[in-house]
Chain A
Amino acid sequence: MPENIAPQKLDVTIRINGKTYARKIEPRTLLVEFLREACDLTGTHVGCDTTYCGACTVLMNNLAVKSCTVFAVQADGADIITVEGLEKNGKLHPIQKAFGDSYGLQCGYCTPGLMLATHQLLAENPEPDEKQIRKAIAGNTCRCTGYVNVFKAIELAGRNMKGASVGD
């Protein structure tokens, strides 16, 4: 009986932060597990088991997704950006810089997810008002900051990036 529950493994290839990762995985592997365990990209976090907290948010084909709610096999062939892929040549992305300058983090556990949710928001709407900011991160829980400085960070990131594309 034990043998027949051993799952068959599948080949999955995902581009993450511009690098290709090919792995053999159990079909039930979540994208977040793929990132953390199979690729050692531990900047993406897990905070819940009901798609509530957004600690696991990454960009999949330029859309912010909760990587705990995507199977790795569903991301086969996709382009993923995680927090590790935000900086360019060691230089912080304007979103990262704005979070730092605004004291937009305390423990920093939620921050990777929040920054990627911000990334999508600013790509769609470079000058979001407060309401739009609140809505964009409604699926990202932060237990430390009370969101106040996170709002400031997102606003600042928007201002600093005016004119530039989010991808820069």
Chain B
Amino acid sequence: MVEERNNGGKGWVGASLPRKEEDRLLRGRGKFAEDIKLREMLYLRFVRSPYAHARILSIDASAAEALPGVACVITGKEIAAETQPFIEIGPDHAQKIRDFPMAVDKAIYQGEPVAAVVAESPGIAEDAAEMVNVEYEALEPVVEAEEALTDRSVLHEAAGTNRVWNGVWEYGDVEQAFKDAAYVVNIDRLHFHRFSSTPLENNVIIGEWNPKDDRIYYGCNNSFPSFAIQFLAAHLKVHIDKIRVQTFDIGGSFGIKITSYPQMAVCALASKKAGGRPVKWVETRSEHMVASAHGNERTFRNTRVALDKNGVITAIDSKHIDDCGAYPRYEPLGCVIWSQVFCGVYRFKNARIDFWQAVTNKCPVGPNRGYSRMQHLWFLERVIDICAHEIGIAADEIRLRNYIRPEEFPYTTPNGCVYDSGNYPKMLEVAKGLIGWDEWRKKQIDAQHEGRMIGIGIGTTLDSGTNNFGQSQIINPYAPFSGNSQGANCKLDIYGEVVVAVGSCPQGQGHETTAAQVVADVLNIHPDLITVRTGFDTERNVHTGMSGTYASQFAVSGLSAVHGAAQKLKTEMKRLAAFLLETNEDELAFGVGEQGPEIKANATGKSINYWGLANIVNVNSAVLPESLYDVTLNCRYVWRAPFKVPDTKAKYGSLTLTYASQLHIAVVEVDRETFVPKIIDYVAVDDCGTVINPPIVEGQVYGATAHGIGAALMETCVYDEVGNMLTSTFSDYTPITSMNIPKIKYGHTSTPSPHSYSGAKGMGEGGAAPIHTISSALQDALFAHGIVINDSFNNADSIFRALKAHDGGQRAELVKLERKQASSAK
């Protein structure tokens, strides 16, 4: 049984090991933040602005405060008086934005907290919150980024403008490329919509600021705690060591839970005001929809694409406007993170991207699965498909002509990123094989004769993982961040148990399992003999300032840290065992004997088990010679990604370590009567290098695929013109269900990464392949009707409008093809 799972004797890495997390979760014994009750716990409820933009004239909390069971009410003004505004990452005027966890003088998005009520029960808190009387003066809202940039109505008066950031990325000789082009395609406007991956578990925070020891405790489900404490310590004006953050099982995050630190601040401050009793906030789904975080919305204007006579792109020139909602917070990092995939999977060398970001009166954005890269990758896939249709080249053919070639890896992009490995033509071949490409092309033609609208689309995408925080200096040269690191600890406990702790905070990615697989291979024991701690805890003292779970990197940063710590432990164990067994370090065998895991001397057959080793170091140390006093069997290792600070002026340098890729193909039919788009066949092929645990990887691919399909066809955050959010419940937002997920054919290719010790690449975000793919398929279905897909969200309604509103389609208004006879004749 053991041998079977042991990956054909090759080791535990690569084996389809069942997850260690499963047992407790299946029995209903998972421990989620909401399950935690502390002594004397109080419950917090926010009072939120119904307006997207309004001055707060007065807050009358007297009725709420008088309700029996109410401990206190806290307002934004009070918080502003005793805290520092949150750190702003942006430069210059963006530094002047005053961001507090609750509105102070005015509310700038619907749902922004203006006060918080703390009471003995959730019910009382809810009742009391309704009794807080807030008087507002409505101000003019701006809900579109392009409009916000006109500064007609300014959100942050201290900053004086709605522009958060702008900068130009320019490489090669763009103008020359346009002069030499055989074709120039102009695309007026493309738009990537706002959506959220909405983890099923909402945000939960327990905060306790105890006057006894003046320490702050958090039990919560934040997914990037080491980032949160850096923001919180400065904001709350406390020593960072005073803040303890603990996470447990987390019911999904997809990046959204990175941005719960403002609510964490409120819980601590409310606890302080309530005399140090712990304060629990459990977000409702409606609160989550309106006021947690959404993904970035982006508009692409005045795009010009130069191509040679074969349809090979030679240059792209475009203006991109990102909408980050009311506060930049984790932004403006999104203004640079897209450039990790600057050229996508394509070879063009000349490009000019003029990038802008604006605040609007909408919920602040956060790093949602595929963060900032998916918007750009969708843009590039739209460019490819639109050019293909305009020039008359098939979607697969134009990609093959433009893909980076397998022999070109490691490939340096125009902006200095190094793509570690990949083979896109092979993925296309595998995907075409799985879907039955030629068959479908035939069926499509037959269907067209019958008047049906069937399209076949391709999406090629990248999932860049383990980022170089030095890219923040492209945004702000004074940003004190660069590189990337993760910490892990591997020890033999006093009785010899192998215990591993990592600075990640997983939400279902199986870190306990994969970490155990890595350590099992180092020590040559079964993964069941290894305990991996659940969740994150600052007091385990393993984390670095970049610890957390985000940006597709655990297989690289997390497991490299675990591997390093296990190696370090092994080295110490060897030194100790060599002394005790009176032999050389290189004549020892690690394995499992009659008395459990042990080390054996090859020559004598004498052995010592882990209990024996741990005993001597921990409770029997008089036996130790002084030369072994440095052996602790408690080994922390910090793994660092080998990055340099990028050249911030030239915007050039390596921004990410690994590039997993995905290639999807979809066949979509638009119903002739209802205009409902329906996926009738679907293939997902992924390549994330060496796979640590195949079913876990497959599960991530399916999950990311469902998010992408949901986002492409069902999930969108809709605001009306005055900033009311119209999709504020699950019933309005309609997350994808079992009825909407097509059958997915799964394929896998592997190009091991030369950038990680195991050849693995970070994966999990998936690069939003389905959004690209479905846009591509819809355009294929509708191009004959004059439709170009210019939005990442499409449903029956939008397709109906596009088909009916424009006689002959909107293509004529949106896209212009210039054919340069002279050069195309060459």
Report which A residues bind B (CB closer than 8 A). Answer: 1-3, 5-6, 26, 28, 36, 41-53, 55, 82-84, 86-87, 92, 96-97, 99-101, 103, 105-112, 115, 133-135, 137-151
The residue in chain A whose Cβ has the minimal distance to the Cβ of B16 is A103
B729 touching A52, Cβ below 8 Å = yes
Q: Which among A87, A101, A109 is the interface contact of B251 at CB below 8 angstroms?
A: A109
Q: Which among A28, A107, A137, A143 is the interface contact of B198 at CB below 8 angstroms?
A: A143
B249 touching A108, Cβ below 8 Å = yes
Q: Which among A28, A103, A138, A150 is the interface contact of B739 at CB below 8 angstroms?
A: A138
Q: What range describes how many residues of B lie at the interface?
A: 35 or more
**B727-746 interface mask toward A, CB cutoff 8 Å, 1 = contact, 0 = none?**
00111000101110100100
B18 touching A100, Cβ below 8 Å = yes
A28 touching B508, Cβ below 8 Å = no
Q: How far, in whole Å, are A141 and B695 apart by their CA atoms in the complex?
A: 21
Q: How far, in whole Å, are A28 and B198 apart by their CA atoms in the complex?
A: 27
B699 within 8 A of A: yes
Q: How far, in whole Å, are A118 and B744 apart by their CA atoms in the complex?
A: 22
Residues of A with C-beta under 8 A to B29: 43, 84
Q: How far, in whole Å, are A138 and B284 apart by their CA atoms in the complex?
A: 22
A105 touching B706, Cβ below 8 Å = no
Report which B residues bind A (CB closer than 8 A). Answer: 18-19, 21-23, 25-30, 32, 34-35, 63, 66-68, 123, 127, 197-202, 249-252, 254, 284-286, 507-510, 695-696, 698-699, 702-707, 729-731, 735, 737-739, 741, 744
B200 touching A137, Cβ below 8 Å = no
Total inter-chain residue pairs, C-beta < 8 Å: 181
A143 touching B199, Cβ below 8 Å = yes
A50 touching B508, Cβ below 8 Å = no
A52 touching B731, Cβ below 8 Å = yes
Q: How far, in whole Å, are A105 and B202 apart by their CA atoms in the complex?
A: 18
Residues of A with C-beta under 8 A to B21: 108
Q: How far, in whole Å, are A90 and B702 apart by their CA atoms in the complex?
A: 31
Q: Which among A44, A49, A133 is the interface contact of B285 at CB below 8 angstroms?
A: A49
The residue in chain B whose Cβ has the minimal distance to the Cβ of A44 is B28
Residues of B with C-beta under 8 A to A101: 18
Q: Can you give 11 contacting A-B residue pairs, CB < 8 Å?
A: A50-B730, A84-B27, A84-B28, A84-B29, A87-B27, A106-B252, A107-B201, A107-B507, A110-B200, A141-B730, A141-B737
A108 touching B27, Cβ below 8 Å = no
Evaluate whether A47 and B202 lie within 8 angstroms (CB atoms) in the complex, with A2-B67, A52-B730 already known: yes
Q: Which among A43, A133, A147 is the interface contact of B28 at CB below 8 angstroms?
A: A43
A143 touching B252, Cβ below 8 Å = yes
The residue in chain B whose Cβ has the minimal distance to the Cβ of A151 is B738
Q: How far, in whole Å, are A100 and B704 apart by their CA atoms in the complex?
A: 20
Q: Which among A5, A55, A108, A143 is the interface contact of B197 at CB below 8 angstroms?
A: A143
Residues of A with C-beta under 8 A to B66: 1-2
B26 touching A100, Cβ below 8 Å = yes
B201 touching A106, Cβ below 8 Å = no
Residues of B with C-beta under 8 A to A143: 197-200, 252, 254, 703, 707, 735
A105 touching B696, Cβ below 8 Å = no
Residues of B with C-beta under 8 A to A108: 21-22, 25-26, 30, 249, 251, 508
Q: How far, in whole Å, are A137 and B201 apart by their CA atoms in the complex?
A: 18
A107 touching B28, Cβ below 8 Å = no
The residue in chain B whose Cβ has the minimal distance to the Cβ of A111 is B25
Evaluate whether A103 and B19 lie within 8 angstroms (CB atoms) in the complex, with A47-B200, A138-B737, A143-B735 already known: yes
Given contacts A5-B127, A48-B285, A106-B510, 10 further A-B contacts (CB under 8 A): A3-B68, A42-B28, A45-B200, A83-B28, A99-B26, A106-B699, A107-B249, A143-B197, A143-B200, A148-B741
B249 touching A42, Cβ below 8 Å = no
Q: How far, in whole Å, are A48 and B737 apart by their CA atoms in the complex?
A: 14
Closest CB in chain B relative to A69 CB, distance in Å: 12
Chain B interface secondary structure, helix, strand, loop or mixed? loop
The residue in chain B whose Cβ has the minimal distance to the Cβ of A134 is B738
Q: How far, in whole Å, are A106 and B704 apart by their CA atoms in the complex?
A: 12
Residues of A with C-beta under 8 A to B32: 42, 45, 109
Evaluate whether A92 and B26 lie within 8 angstroms (CB atoms) in the complex, with A26-B123, A107-B250 already known: yes
Residues of B with C-beta under 8 A to A50: 285, 729-731
A53 touching B730, Cβ below 8 Å = yes
Q: Which among A43, A44, A105, A133 is the interface contact of B22 at CB below 8 angstroms?
A: A105
The residue in chain A whose Cβ has the minimal distance to the Cβ of B709 is A146
Q: How far, in whole Å, are A111 and B25 apart by their CA atoms in the complex?
A: 8
B30 touching A103, Cβ below 8 Å = no
A103 touching B251, Cβ below 8 Å = no
Evaluate whether A42 and B252 lie within 8 angstroms (CB atoms) in the complex, with A55-B200, A92-B26 already known: no
Q: How far, in whole Å, are A137 and B197 apart by their CA atoms in the complex?
A: 20
Q: How far, in whole Å, are A41 and B27 apart by their CA atoms in the complex?
A: 11
Evaluate whether A45 and B739 lie within 8 angstroms (CB atoms) in the complex, with A100-B22, A146-B706 already known: no
Closest CB pairs A-B (n = 8):
A43-B28, A109-B251, A108-B25, A146-B706, A106-B508, A107-B508, A83-B28, A146-B702
B735 touching A141, Cβ below 8 Å = yes
Q: Which among A1, A109, A138, A139 is the interface contact of B201 at CB below 8 angstroms?
A: A109
Residues of B with C-beta under 8 A to A105: 22, 25-26, 508
Evaluate whether A138 and B67 lie within 8 angstroms (CB atoms) in the complex, with A87-B27, A109-B32, A149-B702 already known: no
Closest CB in chain A relative to B117 CB, distance in Å: 13
The residue in chain A whose Cβ has the minimal distance to the Cβ of B127 is A5
Closest CB in chain A relative to B66 CB, distance in Å: 6
Residues of A with C-beta under 8 A to B704: 146
Residues of A with C-beta under 8 A to B199: 107, 109, 143
B739 touching A144, Cβ below 8 Å = no
Q: How far, in whole Å, are A84 and B698 apart by their CA atoms in the complex?
A: 29
Q: How far, in whole Å, are A3 and B735 apart by their CA atoms in the complex?
A: 41
Evaluate whether A112 and B28 lie within 8 angstroms (CB atoms) in the complex, with A100-B22, A138-B737 already known: yes
Q: How far, in whole Å, are A15 and B198 apart by their CA atoms in the complex?
A: 34
Q: How far, in whole Å, are A103 and B22 apart by their CA atoms in the complex?
A: 9
B284 touching A145, Cβ below 8 Å = no
Q: How far, in whole Å, are A105 and B285 apart by their CA atoms in the complex?
A: 21
Evaluate whether A83 and B703 lie within 8 angstroms (CB atoms) in the complex, with A48-B729, A107-B251 already known: no
A6 touching B197, Cβ below 8 Å = no
A106 touching B509, Cβ below 8 Å = yes
Q: How far, in whole Å, are A165 and B509 apart by their CA atoms in the complex?
A: 34
Evaluate whether A92 and B706 lie within 8 angstroms (CB atoms) in the complex, with A2-B66, A107-B508, A109-B200 already known: no
Q: How far, in whole Å, are A148 and B730 apart by their CA atoms in the complex?
A: 21
Residues of B with C-beta under 8 A to A3: 68
Evaluate whether A48 and B28 lie within 8 angstroms (CB atoms) in the complex, with A140-B738, A144-B703 already known: no
Closest CB in chain B relative to A3 CB, distance in Å: 7
B252 touching A144, Cβ below 8 Å = yes
Residues of A with C-beta under 8 A to B251: 45, 47, 107-109
Closest CB in chain B relative to A103 CB, distance in Å: 5
